[in-house]
Amino acid sequence: FLSEACDLIFDAASRGNLFLIVGTKKRVASLVARAAIRARCHYVNKKRLGGMLTNWSTTEKRLNKFRDLRMEQKMGRLERLPKRDAARLKRQLAHLQAYLGGIKYMTGFPDIVIILDQHKEYTALRECITLGIPTICLIDTNCDPDLVDLPIPANDDNRSS
């Protein structure tokens, strides 16, 4: 199953498809971010916002707000505001960075979603099934392999998996 998943990913990457890696367990959050940045794909490693894909119009508005706030911070406009307003906008920017930082350049639906723990990320899996997005998922003994397009049996509690 792993070699089949690797072949699928290599073929999709050669065609220029977009990937989304979802793994929000505290043990693997830093690994997800590091691997996704190296592979130049989108990722979610903090609390995943429900409806991120099925309610894409709202997510896109939040991404635009995030981009605008980052641009204002880079241009130095936040320092010219009163302290209270600047502090509020900086808190909002930090919040958006935590939850949307991995998908800040995402402009549409991903072509393939890789989910690291089916049991914890069940909402993400249901969204992908609803939208018809193919999924690759690490599944443990407490997971249903029939829900996933390409299951990879593994211990999802272990970092090395």
Residues near 24 by beta carbon (within 8 Å), at least 6 away in sequence? 44, 45, 46, 47, 48, 120, 121
Q: How confident is the model at residue 21 (pLDDT cuts 50, 70, 90)?
A: very high
Residues near 26 by beta carbon (within 8 Å), at least 6 away in sequence? none
The structural domains of the chain, with segments of one domain joined by +, span 1-53+110-153, 54-108
Pair type for strands 135-139 and 42-44:
unpaired
Query: Using CA atoms, how far apart are residues 137 and 145, in angstroms rounded to an integer?
Result: 9
Map residue 139 onto helix, strand or coil. strand
> In the prediction, which pLDDT does 50 show?
77
Map residue 50 onto helix, strand or coil. coil
Map residue 152 onto helix, strand or coil. strand
For the stretch 63-117, pLDDT in tens is: 999 999 999 999 988 888 899 999 999 999 999 988 888 898 888 899 999 998 8
Q: pTM to 2 decimals?
A: 0.87
Mean pLDDT of the chain: 88
Residues near 116 by beta carbon (within 8 Å), at least 6 away in sequence? 21, 22, 23, 25, 28, 32, 137, 138, 156
For the stretch 134-153, pLDDT in tens is: 999 988 888 888 888 899 88
> In the prediction, which pLDDT does 43 show?
93
Query: Using CA atoms, how far apart are residues 113 and 16, in angstroms rounded to an integer?
Result: 14
Query: Using CA atoms, how far apart are residues 154 and 138, in angstroms rounded to an integer?
Result: 6
Strands in 150-153's sheet, in edge-to-edge order, are 42-44, 19-22, 112-115, 135-139, 150-153
Q: Answer yes or no: is pLDDT of 158 > 80.
A: no
**Whether domain 54-108 has CATH 1.10.287:** yes
Which fold is adopted by the domain 1-53+110-153?
Rossmann fold (3.40.50)
> In the prediction, which pLDDT does 99 show?
86
